[in-house]
Chains A and B, each alone.
Chain A
Amino acid sequence: MKAATDLPPVGRHAGQPARRHLLSVADLGADGIEEVLRVTDSFVEVSGRAIPKVPALRGKTVVSLFFEDSTRTRLSFETAARRLSADVMTFSAASSSVNKGESLRDTVETIEAMGIDGVVVRHAGSGVPWQVARWLRQAAVINGGDGWHEHPTQALLDCYTITRMLAGAPAHEGGPGSLAGVRIAIVGDIRHSRVARSDVLAFSALGAHVTLVAPPTLLPPSLAGWPVEVSHDLDAVLPTLDVVYLLRLQQERMREALLPSLREYTATYGLTSTRARLLPDDALIMHPGPVNRGVEIAAEVADQPSSVITRQVANGVAVRMAVLYLLLGSGVDLAA
């Protein structure tokens, strides 16, 4: 494996098509995902050093354009960019002229005029990164989470976490970047979850068998074309799993008549201590955070050894370093 410091020199070469984005997991395909995971290994190594920093993106400017509060994703991206020696600008809606009536397009064009190389876009509206990518002339766009739609770097860090944790485990049939034969259940509010949409695309691209477990009101209206199975019986699914992936349940869902109460949700779909014992011993417990302890997952389950929730966060920085590096630094097309 190539060490990060040996990576090819960085810079936008004359004539190089500079426009590459990461908008959807579907842009990558299995090969693209596996490439990100391979490069991530290098940056995990970098992150373990005493001075976890490489000059790969020196002179590059990355903007985190967050129209929606998300401290953890923003910090993860900004940390990743800084560890690559990029300059980082932070834009958050609360402190911007968005509140003064500036249009989304004006905001985006103003920021690009400052001379930037990459933009991480987070927005509560599905599709905004696609619009931003159409409006920008030069900079690469990374989808940092759009509405209910996608959160591709979350899916990549989830794939990284699962593949590396399961490496060598008996259930794991494929190579280092494969999830062939791995059984994963995504549990909870699939309907409103960008994490679920990206994870379904990524897990299935890598060969995993994905089951969605949720009450019908928290599933999308149509699952046509989704490579998944659906269950409403978590107890029946748990013993078959290699990975159980729990989604955060937003409190507002009760107001929309999607659920009678949190209590009933926890009783039927929460990973309680009792239910967690139905999992095989080596099964992983995952969650994209922030965790509602006592709702979708019991506090003691979140803290038990098979829970890799904090591992996901740690891997997040290395995965985002890989994405930034591949988009802004190497000249290698992620989607190729």
Chain B
Amino acid sequence: MPPEPSRPDPALRRQRPATTSRQHTGVRRRPPTVLIHGGTLVDPTGTRPGDVLIQDGVIVSAGNRVESAPAGTVVLDAGGCVVAPGLVDLHTHLREPGREEAETVETGSRAAALGGYTAVVAMPNTEPAIDSAAVVRQVLELGRDALCDVAVAGSITVGREGTRLAPLAEMAALGVKLFTDDGSGVQDARLMRRALEYASSLGVTLAQHCEDSSLAAGGHMHEGEWSSRLGIPGQPAEAEELMVMRDLALCRLTGTPVHFLHLSTARSVAMVRGAKASGLPVTAEATPHHLCLTDACVAGYDTVFKVNPPLRSAEDAAAIRAGLADGTIDAIATDHAPHAKEAKEAPFDQAPPGMIGLETALGVALSELDLPIERVVALLSWKPAAIAGLAEHGRPITAGIPANLCVIDPEMEWTVDPARMASRSRNTPFAGRTLRGRVRHTVLAGEPVVVNGQAQR
């Protein structure tokens, strides 16, 4: 197959392992010439008005107004909109392979594109788990024709069972940059120490779902006033905090970076703040739901509000927002966790935890965070791109870089309707909410995959 003009030299590609599906296969449709017209560019270098002209998947000019484009150019109206690097989700459960009734790479990537994402990191708690080169290749292959780039997180331990190290180097050679047993934390401190030491030579980051399983055992919501009243077994905030504390200690011991997934408690945020101040190489993410929903949502026993880590107290949610505002928390990640309708229509203590989030994350962040849009986009785009090691995403909008962009209408109000979502599942906790801010267009490597809020394939 002839190399795309926009692609690096094949020899170069062999040297630098692919990090996402598209690079892995090198297969692309030839994208049209695209002009994003009339918007305001927002990227790591600042904010300025400007048009973006894209040819062969690469930005050829940005910042100037383009008065005439070549014939056949697709013009995307960005009037009143922010043009930003595509969003990057550090934490997506695409469910494939194994749980295709809940989501597939195709449906999940469509949801991602509609949410403004041009790349997602697929979590490894699939069936089988992504714990070997073979499964990494399988998911990268599935992502080849997806509506966003699909990067893969590998598991730290074989089968996510927490007993033996997975082949981290073998997966890293395929471009895996992030490893986690997400869904559970690595319980054994000695094993986690060894994983960090082993990973330190690979240029990858280990990410932890912080939960001490013995303390959290049997808990289906946050332990506190509401769990006591509702008669639902709870898991205390300390179950998360114990592992944050332990992994900060292991980070200090090994010097290897640690990324904290979906922080949910005020004391977790405080500990990470302190660790960053003391110079430890740690990063952290928080979800849209943990920054605005609380355990009081569970009062009606609607299983859509069951999630892990659980929705915490109002004080915890406020601490998450403060952590995002002061930079303690580096990124907003969705923890998009689709579940089939039947699975969620179970008694609360039997329903699986998880919420979908790709299509609502931006709107929730813009509506609920008291931050300028530049800061919100940073939390959703270039900061997570850096943590995920995705070199083609979250870049300044300038000539010569791959055109992974989203166009955001920051003032558009819309009501979340689960029936109209692209995800195969409907378990959004924001159903019926009116959000301010929505994605108008998404451009993936020059291809307009979402135009005027509609997925193009």
A224 within 8 A of B: yes
Is B109 in the interface zone, CB < 8 Å from A?
no
Q: Is B437 an interface residue (CB 8 A)?
A: no
Question: Could you give, for residues 340-365 of chain B, a 1 whenever the CB lies within 8 Å of some chain A CB and a 0 otherwise?
Answer: 00100111111000000000000000
Contact call A225/B232, Cβ cutoff below 8 A: no
Q: Are B223 and A127 in contact (CB under 8 A)?
A: no
Question: Which of A104, A131, A197 has the largest count of B CB atoms less than 10 A from its CB?
Answer: A131
B64 touches A (CB below 8 Å): no
Instruction: Report B316-348 residues with CB < 8 Å from chain A CB.
Output: 342, 345-348
Beyond A104-B346, A125-B350, A130-B301, is A221–B228 a contact (Cβ under 8 Å)? yes
Q: Is the CB of A221 within 8 A of B348?
A: no
- Smallest CB gap from A126: residue in B: B231
Interface size grouping (class) on chain B: 20 to 34
Confirm or deny: A90 has a beta carbon within 8 angstroms of a beta carbon on chain B. no
A103 at the interface (CB under 8 A from B): yes
Query: Contact mask A137-169 → B, CB, 8 Å, 1/0?
Result: 000000000111110000000000000000000
User: Which A207-247 residues have C-beta < 8 A from chain B?
Assistant: 220-226
Which listed residue, A124, A126, A223, touches B301 by the CB 8 Å rule?
A126
Interface residue count on the A side (C-beta < 8 Å): 26
Bound form: Cα–Cα A318–B350 in Å: 34
B189 at the binding interface (Cβ < 8 Å): no
Q: A126-B301, A147-B232 are in contact. Are A224 and B225 (CB under 8 A)?
A: yes
- A221→B301 contact, CB < 8 A: no
Q: How many Å from the CB of A148 to the closest CB on chain B?
A: 3
The answer for the CA separation of A225 and B227 in the assembled complex, in Å, is 12
What chain B residues lie within 8 Å of A126 (beta carbons)? 230-232, 301, 347-349
Q: Known contacts being A125-B349, A126-B349, is A103 close to B232, with CB within 8 Å?
A: no
In the complex, chain A residues whose CB is within 8 Å of the CB of B229: 197, 220, 225-226
Q: Which residues of B contact A103 (CB under 8 A)?
A: 342, 345-346
CB-CB contacts below 8 Å: A110-140 with B: 123-128, 130-131, 135
Verify B345–A105 contact, CB threshold 8 A.
yes
Task: Report Cα–Cα, A103/B350, bound state, in Å.
Answer: 11
Min CB distance B388 to A, Å, is: 37
- For residue A194, CB closer than 8 A to chain B, the reply is yes
- Kindly state whether residue B300 has any CB partner on chain A within 8 Å: yes
Contact with A along B283-320 (1 / 0, CB 8 A): 00000000000000000111100000000000000000
Contacts from B to A (Cβ < 8 Å): 223-225, 227-234, 236, 300-303, 342, 345-350
Contacts beyond the supplied A104-B347, A126-B348: 15 A-B pairs with Cβ under 8 Å? A103-B345, A104-B346, A126-B231, A127-B230, A130-B300, A131-B301, A131-B303, A131-B345, A148-B231, A149-B232, A150-B231, A221-B223, A221-B234, A224-B225, A226-B229
A residues near B, CB below 8 A? 103-105, 123-128, 130-131, 135, 146-150, 194, 197, 220-226
Q: Enumerate 11 A-B pairs (CB-CB under 8 Å) in ascending A order.
A: A104-B345, A125-B350, A126-B230, A126-B347, A126-B348, A127-B301, A127-B347, A127-B348, A131-B347, A150-B231, A197-B231
Q: Which 9 A-B pairs have the closest CB atoms?
A: A127-B301, A125-B347, A149-B231, A148-B231, A220-B228, A126-B231, A105-B345, A224-B225, A222-B228
